[in-house]
Chain A
Amino acid sequence: MEKLFTQNALVVILSLTVISPLFWSFFEGSLSFVIYLFLLFIVWVFYLYRVAAKIEEEE
């Protein structure tokens, strides 16, 4: 379980990095950035779904 949450903490840091102002200049306009954020959102939901499944399995 500890390993899973260390991994989650790393995902949070990575996620914050890829949505941080450092990355904004890679997008030519707001629209593409919003689409990028929505795609990331889908990835997060799917990842959390996997995390929940693992927790349910272990508990």
Chain B
Amino acid sequence: MTLLLIAIATVYLGLIFGAAWFFEKRLNHIGFKKWMPYIYALAIAVYCTAWTFYGSIGRAAESGFDFLLIYIGPTLALFLWYPIARKLYYLKVHQGIGSLADLLSARYGKDATLGKLVATFSLIGVLPYISLQIKAISESFTILSAGDIPFDLGFSLRDPALYVTLVMVVFTILFGTRYVQNNRPKAGLIGTIAFESLFKLIAFVVVGIIGLNSFLKDNRFAAALDDMANQTVDLPPADWVSILLISAFSFMLLPRQFQMGVVENTSIKNIPKALWLVPLYMLILSLFVVPFALMGPSLAPGTNPDFYLLSLAQLTGGSGAAALAFLGGLSAATSMIIVSTLALANMFSTHVLVPQIVWNQEESLERRIIGLRRWAIVGILLLAFLYYHYIALNDSLVSIGMVSFAAISQFAPAFLGALFWKQAHRKGAIASISAGFGIWFYFLVLPEILLLFNAGPGFLGALAPQTIAAGMGMSILSAACIISLLLNALLFVGISINLEASQEEENQATLFVDAQSLLSKDEAPELYKGSAPFPDIKSLLTNFLGVQRTERVLYRYATYHNIDWDLSPTADSRMIGYAERLLSEAIGPASAKIMISSVVQREDLSRNEVLGILEESQKVLKLNRELSKRGDQLRAASEELQLAHDKLQHLTDLKDEFLYTVTHELRTPLTAIRTQAELIEDDPEMPEEDRQRFLSNMVQDCDRLTRLIGNVLDLEKFESGNQKLSLRSIDIGELLKDTVKQFQALAKKKGHLLECEISKPLPPTYGDIDRLAQVLHNLIGNALKYADASAGKVLVTAYQLDQNLKVNIQDNGKGIPEADRELVFDKFYQVRNQTRRKPTGSGLGLAISKNIILMHKGRIWIEENHEGGTRISFTLPLYQAEQALKETKTLPHA
């Protein structure tokens, strides 16, 4: 088993490297962007670490339902998260925010002390949490190997966690420190963390289903449920408050959460999906906690409750399930280690290490900044490993996690004040964070340190944390949380309302609190006046960002603002603000401010000037929105105009085509008449028989001309709406029979069979009998024309269909191709269609018939005929009175 574990752990770690390579180049890939909201939500699920994976079962086994509070806190925080996350996104983009330390430092007047304080306290607070993950990896190896190979836990080359930690160092350096800007999203990182979140969820669910399936067959499970049903709900109210509060704050403020939720966020559109996907994730992940917690004591007595999942997976699902549970735990631990280490290294190097080298040196620093971050990663993981070795080995996973949660919550008052309270003061923030951390350290860390030196709680006498907590009637964790957060908030508010902020802090406060209205456009307002020689700014940027990136960003800026640096070699306040933001992304807001100040002649703005700029900025924003709205309206109007133009063009084309066809049709018989008249004129001796033949042809051509002109005039009347119907009650059945009778002679002459079938008498309706007779003449005439030449057959049928009369005229000719069935009702269709034999006729018959039927509010169309040939059908609505026909709307053409 041990070798198998080592093998699968190695393969898994290889897999996450592969996933990172895969995702690295795909940040701007369309497919990646499409899935980004889901990837973002899964990445935020880095909240669920090895503590969740293993430790929540241990917590449930020991304390009951309160493990759920660790998920309920963040879920309730998500109800209010959207406006905060949106504001943080704007600040990240426009203020170059890459960490919580950047945020608080930038907000409180770009204060270096505050940045250092947040970075250092975050490191101290989260270090135990990273060590918790190392402990989880190490112990999961030990439990599953069951002594096959003796592992030494702690600071030993025989501890497997050491090797996993080293791999994490390599991974974090490779995929987390590629760019000097620490707020730039890293696709390899976010993609891998999302992959790991998905993997641990699947692993937990599969192992959970296998386990539950086995538990349900075990009588002890029912007994355990009975016991639980009889246990009273018991949790000190102070624990309830503190767990909910610190888990909600930690969900927002833990370095890894800030890294994934803010720094790695690629778009504001990713946020809404995370609002429900993250709680859903936590809900699924907590579904199987209770069954495992209930069965752990029965099935795996003597096992550390934190690792019931592993032991029970092995018992219920064998080695496969155990290996899957192990890998799920490994993925939970590694994702947390990677992101937390990266976030802490960014913070610590930017606010504590980088200032030591950048404030006094002028050499190229881009590589040195990245190098410092890498050393910070190594240092942090080394410290975490030492903590694990010396302190964490004896504590439960949950207790270590809670200690970190309580530490990070100390930033909450300053964080919320930074975003929503303009009066929040730098000194208030520094005092509150320091005091909160002091109490946290005293209550939750000092006792552990004293234990290392074999000094018990009695060492501090009546001031011992345990004594104070007991006096308050609550756990030491709750006492620490409540006292520290209360004092923290009181100091923050008390100091802030009694102090006046500097102009710069006030400016930053306005930008942060009104971020939604001031920063939601492309460019933030610049709240100071100043100028600098452009070459100095360029040189400064080159120093920190490197030559290539500096050239690229300056070119982009110049193109966007239409600036030629050769012609205007002075950088204005807007350019300086842009440069400061770029520097801030690399070295933090405080250092960026100092570096920029070294080359800029800055003038302080009066309060009125600041207000003027902000007012102007809001007006520009409003104007931009209005312009954008107008632009949309203009675009819509332009599209409508284009459509109308296309329609008119189409109508003009139709008219031209119609005129061309009509003149062509008129010229053919006219040419024939002229030719024959000339022949008669030129040859007075022409035999009488020939003369009569020519004269007869001329008369026929004149008839054809008359018919064509009559049809054109008819059509013009229909299309212009001048044609009136002479309505009266008609019997369509009789009309059909009469018309068919009239065509029998022609049918006989052609050798065709013409039949009319009307099964039962048709009800009368209102219509113009002459026009309907014209339709029937056109349709039956066409049918006889196109019926099979040797054994032609035309069948006319009519019947009532609902509130309509339906008439079909069917022939057994070649039929009409499906693609042409709509077109045959167009004017001169048969003339235009040159591939077919040109029949006799004007080519207007069907167009006129269609108009007549439409005027009767009916439909006409070519129907599918499976027997071959053509079947033209039309319907006429049944009207009881003439008025009904006049009031009915025209049906769309079939």
B275 at the interface (CB under 8 A from A): yes
Q: Mark A13-33, 1 if CB is under 8 A from B, else 0.
A: 001100111001001111111
Judging by beta carbons under 8 Å apart, are A30 and B64 in contact? yes
Q: Given A5-B82, A9-B79 in contact, is the A31-B228 Cβ separation under 8 Å?
A: yes
Question: Given the complex of chains A and B, what is the CA–CA distance between A32 and B273 in angstroms?
Answer: 31
Question: Given the complex of chains A and B, what is the CA–CA distance between A55 and B271 in angstroms?
Answer: 10
Q: Mark B238-282, 1 if CB is under 8 A from A, else 0.
A: 001000100000000000000000000000110111011001100
Q: Given A20-B240, A30-B231 in contact, is the A41-B290 Cβ separation under 8 Å?
A: no
Closest beta carbon of chain A to B482's beta carbon, Å? 15
Most A CB contacts (10 A, CB to CB) among B83, B237, B272, B283 go to B272
B72 at the interface (CB under 8 A from A): yes
Closest beta carbon of chain A to B615's beta carbon, Å? 22
B233 at the interface (CB under 8 A from A): yes
Interface residues of B in 74-88 (CB under 8 A from A): 75-76, 78-80, 82-83
Q: Mark A33-44, 1 if CB is under 8 A from B, else 0.
A: 110011001101
Q: Given A21-B237, A48-B78 in contact, is the A56-B232 Cβ separation under 8 Å?
A: no
Judging by beta carbons under 8 Å apart, are B229 and A29 in contact? yes
Which 5 pairs between the two chains have the least Cβ-Cβ distance?
A52-B272, A48-B276, A49-B276, A29-B229, A31-B229
> Which of B72, B244, B275, B276 lies in contact with A37, CB distance below 8 A?
B72
Question: Given the complex of chains A and B, what is the CA–CA distance between A38 and B282 in angstroms?
Answer: 11
Q: Mark A44-59, 1 if CB is under 8 A from B, else 0.
A: 1110110111011001
Judging by beta carbons under 8 Å apart, are B225 and A31 in contact? yes
- A5-B82, A29-B232 given; 14 more Cβ-contact pairs under 8 Å: A8-B80, A21-B237, A21-B240, A28-B229, A29-B230, A30-B65, A30-B231, A30-B232, A34-B68, A34-B290, A41-B279, A45-B283, A48-B75, A51-B276
> Which of A31, A41, A42 lies in contact with B72, CB distance below 8 A?
A41
Closest beta carbon of chain A to B64's beta carbon, Å? 5
Most A CB contacts (10 A, CB to CB) among B65, B79, B279 go to B79
Majority DSSP secondary structure for residues of B touching A: helix
5 residue pairs from A and B, CB less than 8 Å apart: A11-B79, A29-B233, A46-B276, A51-B82, A55-B82
A27: chain B residues within 8 A (beta carbon): 233
Closest beta carbon of chain A to B242's beta carbon, Å? 13
B283: chain A residues within 8 A (beta carbon): 38, 41-42, 45
Closest beta carbon of chain B to A16's beta carbon, Å? 7
Question: Given the complex of chains A and B, what is the CA–CA distance between A41 and B225 in angstroms?
Answer: 21
Question: Given the complex of chains A and B, what is the CA–CA distance between A34 and B638 in angstroms?
Answer: 61
Name B290's closest neighbour in chain A (CB-CB). Answer: A34
B272: chain A residues within 8 A (beta carbon): 51-53, 55-56, 59
Judging by beta carbons under 8 Å apart, are A45 and B65 in contact? no
Question: Given the complex of chains A and B, what is the CA–CA distance between A47 and B533 in angstroms?
Answer: 55
Judging by beta carbons under 8 Å apart, are A52 and B273 in contact? yes
Closest beta carbon of chain B to A59's beta carbon, Å? 7
Interface residues of B in 363-392 (CB under 8 A from A): none
Judging by beta carbons under 8 Å apart, are A45 and B64 in contact? no
Closest beta carbon of chain B to A5's beta carbon, Å? 6
A52: chain B residues within 8 A (beta carbon): 272-273, 275-276
B276: chain A residues within 8 A (beta carbon): 45-46, 48-49, 51-52
Judging by beta carbons under 8 Å apart, are A12 and B65 in contact? no
Question: Given the complex of chains A and B, what is the CA–CA distance between A5 and B78 in angstroms?
Answer: 11
Closest beta carbon of chain B to A36's beta carbon, Å? 10
Closest beta carbon of chain B to A4's beta carbon, Å? 9
Question: Given the complex of chains A and B, what is the CA–CA distance between A24 and B82 in angstroms?
Answer: 31
Most B CB contacts (10 A, CB to CB) among A9, A24, A30 go to A30
A33: chain B residues within 8 A (beta carbon): 65, 233
> Which of A24, A41, A59 lies in contact with B75, CB distance below 8 A?
A41
Question: Given the complex of chains A and B, what is the CA–CA distance between A52 and B275 in angstroms?
Answer: 6
Name B268's closest neighbour in chain A (CB-CB). Answer: A59
Question: Given the complex of chains A and B, what is the CA–CA distance between A46 and B75 in angstroms?
Answer: 12
Question: Given the complex of chains A and B, what is the CA–CA distance between A1 and B290 in angstroms?
Answer: 38
> Which of A24, A37, A48, A53 lies in contact with B279, CB distance below 8 A?
A48
Name A4's closest neighbour in chain B (CB-CB). Answer: B82
Question: Given the complex of chains A and B, what is the CA–CA distance between A21 and B78 in angstroms?
Answer: 22
> Which of A8, A9, A29, A38 lies in contact with B231, CB distance below 8 A?
A29
B275: chain A residues within 8 A (beta carbon): 48, 51-52, 55
Q: Given A49-B276, A52-B273 in contact, is the A32-B229 Cβ separation under 8 Å?
A: yes
B290: chain A residues within 8 A (beta carbon): 34
> Which of A15, A21, A37 lies in contact with B65, CB distance below 8 A?
A37
Judging by beta carbons under 8 Å apart, are A5 and B83 in contact? yes
> Which of A15, A28, A32 lies in contact with B76, CB distance below 8 A?
A15
Q: Given A30-B233, A34-B290 in contact, is the A45-B80 Cβ separation under 8 Å?
A: no
Judging by beta carbons under 8 Å apart, are A12 and B76 in contact? yes
B79: chain A residues within 8 A (beta carbon): 8-9, 11-12, 44, 48, 51
Closest beta carbon of chain A to B734's beta carbon, Å? 62
Judging by beta carbons under 8 Å apart, are B80 and A9 in contact? yes
Name A11's closest neighbour in chain B (CB-CB). Answer: B79
Closest beta carbon of chain A to B261's beta carbon, Å? 15
Most B CB contacts (10 A, CB to CB) among A37, A48, A49 go to A48
Name B83's closest neighbour in chain A (CB-CB). Answer: A5
Most B CB contacts (10 A, CB to CB) among A11, A33, A34 go to A34
Q: Mark B122-141, 1 if CB is under 8 A from A, else 0.
A: 00000000000000000000
Question: Given the complex of chains A and B, what is the CA–CA distance between A49 and B276 in angstroms?
Answer: 5
Question: Given the complex of chains A and B, what is the CA–CA distance between A21 and B237 in angstroms?
Answer: 6
Q: Given A34-B290, A48-B279, A56-B272 in contact, is the A16-B76 Cβ separation under 8 Å?
A: yes
Interface residues of B in 285-303 (CB under 8 A from A): 286-287, 290
Name B236's closest neighbour in chain A (CB-CB). Answer: A21
Name A20's closest neighbour in chain B (CB-CB). Answer: B240
Question: Given the complex of chains A and B, what is the CA–CA distance between A56 and B240 in angstroms?
Answer: 34
Closest beta carbon of chain A to B220's beta carbon, Å? 15
Question: Given the complex of chains A and B, what is the CA–CA distance between A55 and B287 in angstroms?
Answer: 29
Judging by beta carbons under 8 Å apart, are A45 and B229 in contact? no
Name A37's closest neighbour in chain B (CB-CB). Answer: B68
Closest beta carbon of chain A to B681's beta carbon, Å? 83
Closest beta carbon of chain B to A42's beta carbon, Å? 7
Name A2's closest neighbour in chain B (CB-CB). Answer: B83
Name A44's closest neighbour in chain B (CB-CB). Answer: B75
Question: Given the complex of chains A and B, what is the CA–CA distance between A24 and B237 in angstroms?
Answer: 11
Question: Given the complex of chains A and B, what is the CA–CA distance between A24 and B239 in angstroms?
Answer: 14
